[in-house]
């Protein structure tokens, strides 16, 4: 079946611009996660959704970062006034529920010039 889909695959933007990253989770998966992976580094947790609510947004690095999820499905991660340090791969994952493994998308590589 279809996996987690992320778009765009790659995004190049100028410093100071806003960007939106999209994640389509696996159908029926109630939990959705955003992670950030800087070059050669591990995965840094950003935010977790259960349905449309975000019980854990502790990983968002600043108020320039926000995320929403609508209809218990698609999620959008928005970065305002991008900075060069925002350059990274942004990974989305979904899960059918507690205790289940996460299923990841291929990520969006964001480059801020």
Partner 1 sequence: AQTVTQSQPEMSVQEAETVTLSCTYDTSESDYYLFWYKQPPSRQMILVIRQEAYKQQNATENRFSVNFQKAAKSFSLKISDSQLGDAAMYFCAYRRQVAQKLVFGQGTRLTINP
* Residue ranges binding partner 1 (CB under 8 A): 31, 33, 35, 41-43, 45, 48, 50, 55-56, 59, 89, 91, 93, 95, 98-99, 101-107, 109
CB of 27 to partner 1, least distance (A): 18
What residues have CB less than 8 Å from 63, skipping those under 6 apart? Answer: none
CB of 24 to partner 1, least distance (A): 14
Instruction: Round to whole Å and give the CA distance between 105 and 94.
Output: 9
Greatest CA separation found in the chain? 40
In the bound state with partner 1, the residue whose beta carbon lies nearer, of 42 and 80, is 42
CB of 102 to partner 1, least distance (A): 6
Q: What kind and span of H or E run contains 93?
A: strand 88-95
User: What is the number of alpha carbons within 13 Å of residue 2 lying toward its C-beta?
Assistant: 10
CB of 42 to partner 1, least distance (A): 4
Nearest to 90 by CA among 71, 63, 112, 113: 112
């Amino acid at each position: 079946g279809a996996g987690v889909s992320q778009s765009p695959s790659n995004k190049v933007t100028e410093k100071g611009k806003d960007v939106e990253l999209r994640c389509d989770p696996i159908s029926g998966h109630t939990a959705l996660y955003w992670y950030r992976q800087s070059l050669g580094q591990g995965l840094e947790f950003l935010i977790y959704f259960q349905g449309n609510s975000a019980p854990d947004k502790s990983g968002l690095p600043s108020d320039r970062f926000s995320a929403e999820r609508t209809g218990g499905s698609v999620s959008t991660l928005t970065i305002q006034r991008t900075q060069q340090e925002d350059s990274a791969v942004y990974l989305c994952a979904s899960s059918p529920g507690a205790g289940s493994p996460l299923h990841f998308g291929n990520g969006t590589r964001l480059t801020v010039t």
